Structures are given as C-alpha cells and as structure tokens.
Amino acid sequence: MEIILAETAGFCMGVDLALRRLDKLVAAAEGRPIYILGPIIHNPQVLKWYGDQGVIIAKEPEDVPSGACVVIRAHGITREVEEALRSRDVVIKDATCPRVKKAQLLIRRHTAEGRELLLYGEADHPEVRGLVSYAEHGHFLFDSEEELDSYPLVKGKSYVLAAQTTQDRVIFDAIAEKLEKNKNIDVKVLQTICDATKLRQKEANKLATEVDFMVVVGGYNSGNTRRLAQVVTDQGTPCKHVETVGELDLDSLRGFSRIGVTAGASTPHHLIQEVLDTLNDL
C-alpha cells in the first residue's frame, strides 16, 4: 500500500497566524483568563487544547468582563459586533485572517458606490456573517448557481459579486462568467477566494485521480475541509472525511493499493501525522 500526502495539507497562513498570536497571549497570561469571541478556528481538538489552557469562548461581547483580553477569531466578526466590543473596557487582539479582512474591506469599498452585494457562501458560517455586514447597500446570499438563478436581478442595476474565502473557485468562476455576459446588469467581480483554498482544492482534485481512496482530515464544522471532501467525491474517488484517525475503518482500507491524504486549513499537523502513521502501519 502506498500513502500519498497532499503537499499543502494542514494549517494555512491565516490559521497559523491566529494561533501564534493566541499562543503568545496564553504564555503571557499568568493565569488570567483569555476570551475568544467565538471559536478561533473550526477544529474541536484545537479548541479543547486551548480550553485546557484557560481560554474561554464568549458568544457575545457582553460575555467578556471589563479589563479582560479578548481575541477576534480568524473568521472575523460582524461590524456591529466589533463596534460593540470596542465600546467596552477590554483589550482587543484581532486575529482575523488577513485574507478575510481584505475581503471585508473590498466589499465595503465597492458597495459604497451603490452596488448590491451578491455573495457566494454558507449562510450559517461566521465568516459570511462578517462579510455581508460590510455591504453598504443590501446583499443577496446564495450557496449554489441555481439559487442565484432564482434571484431576480434588476435591469440597469449595479452589483458586486464576491465569495466566502474558502469557496470552490471553479464554481465561482462559472458564476462570474455567466453574470458578466448578462448585458442587462453592471457587475463588479471581486476575487476574494483565498489562494491557499484554491491550491488545496486543485491538489485534492489531482490527487484523487491518482489514488484508489482519499482520506480528508479536519473538523466537521470546517467549511474548507468539507469542500475538499466534496472536490474528491465529485472526481468519483471514494473518500472518507474524519476528524481523528480513530474514525477510520482500517479493515475496509486494506484492499486499496494507493491512498491519498489531505487536510483542511484548520487541521493541526499531529492529527494528520497520526493518520499517516496508522495507514503506513497497514
């Protein structure tokens, strides 16, 4: 059996930066609690580790006591929540991924011209809630090309098309091309999908054609990890999405000669290595 690991599996730049900032705070805390406004990344094993170090997840700005240190999650927060947070007597450390922050500012700049935002993303994702909060003149959120097709675009109106940073680039490009061919509207396309996301999806797609089976490692609540699994499945390759190696049915894998492994952008190295070690032991 041959085990092949995707080259860019695991932490992306934004996640690595956010956790490095949090690590520095934990090291200097001297027992004082540190708060995060929502999970800093979408990986339950990482969140448990920080919880054991005294890091507390707050749901609302009001949950953070005066004088405490609060970290803004890698996915970012809404403008309204940030304003509420800055009105309180707390020390703020912004760990928003630079790619997400750039997308927020691009949306604010281009919708300030009077354009309506068309956003390709997941309605229940915290990054998406943050992005649409920067739209100055309304927004329409969709998670499929078919859903956008059902939305009545107004003749002569101006729009901005953008995407959640971890969305599928191939689908987004097809949507953009279709809108740009519509002569009845004026659309500005923003390239907000992260390069790291595009690269992971491209690698997963290629690796899926070279192996008999794929394992995708990462949190079930991680959007970019779920999309990696979907990319592989769409290629027609059998695939299993797991958070930890204990979820693999090893006996069912013995019949495969080549197994590919990739992981989401919020998956720590040690969880990937445990999967690799176990598969190699087969």
Single out the residue in 193, 227, 257 at which a domain terminates: 193
Active site residues: 127
Q: Residues near 194 by Cβ (< 8 Å), separated by ≥ 6?
A: 12, 14, 97, 99, 165, 166
pLDDT at 88: 87
Of the listed ranges 56-70, 107-121, 146-160, the one predicted with least confidence: 56-70
Asked if 214 and 207 count as a contact pair (C-beta separation under 8 A), the reply is: yes
pLDDT in tens, 192-240: 999 888 899 999 999 999 999 999 999 999 989 999 999 999 999 999 9
pLDDT score, position 195: 86
Please give the average per-residue pLDDT across 136-154, as a whole number. 95
The 10s digit of each residue's pLDDT in 168-199 is 888 999 999 999 999 999 999 999 999 888 89
- CATH number at 185 reads 3.40.1010.20
Q: For residue 82, give the CATH number of its domain.
A: 3.40.50.11270
For 142, counting Cβ atoms within 10 Å of its Cβ (0-12 exposed, 13-18 middle, 19+ buried), the class is middle
CA angle 278–281–282, rounded 5-degree value: 100
Mean pLDDT of the 148-157 span: 95
Q: Which residues are CB-neighbours of 180 under 8 A, at least 6 positions away? A: 187, 189
Do 205 and 250 lie in one domain? The reply is yes
Clarify whether residues 172 and 232 are in a common domain. Answer: no
pLDDT at 267: 96
Taking only the tens place, the pLDDT of each residue in 243-277 is: 999 999 999 999 899 999 999 999 999 999 999 99
Give yes or no: residues 209 and 231 share one domain.
yes
Tokens 């097809």 sit at which residue?
174
pLDDT at 223: 87
Sheet arrangement for strand 34-37: 55-58, 34-37, 69-72, 91-94
Average pLDDT over residues 93-120: 96
| 137 and 124 part of one domain | yes
Say yes or no: 69 and 103 in one domain: no
Q: Please give the model's pTM, rounded to 2 decimal places.
A: 0.84
Q: What is the 3-state secondary structure (H, E, C) of 158-216?
A: EEEEEECCCCCHHHHHHHHHHHHCCCCCEEEECCCCCHHHHHHHHHHHHHHCCCCEEEE
Taking all residues of the chain, what is their mean pLDDT, rounded to a whole number?
A: 94
Can you give the residue range of the structural domain that contains 225?
Answer: 2-10+196-281
pLDDT in tens, 8-61: 999 999 999 999 999 999 988 777 789 998 899 999 999 999 999 889 999 889
Domains: count for the chain: 3
What average pLDDT does the segment 90-105 reach?
Answer: 94
In angstroms, the first-to-last Cα distance of the chain is 8
Same domain, 130 and 159: yes
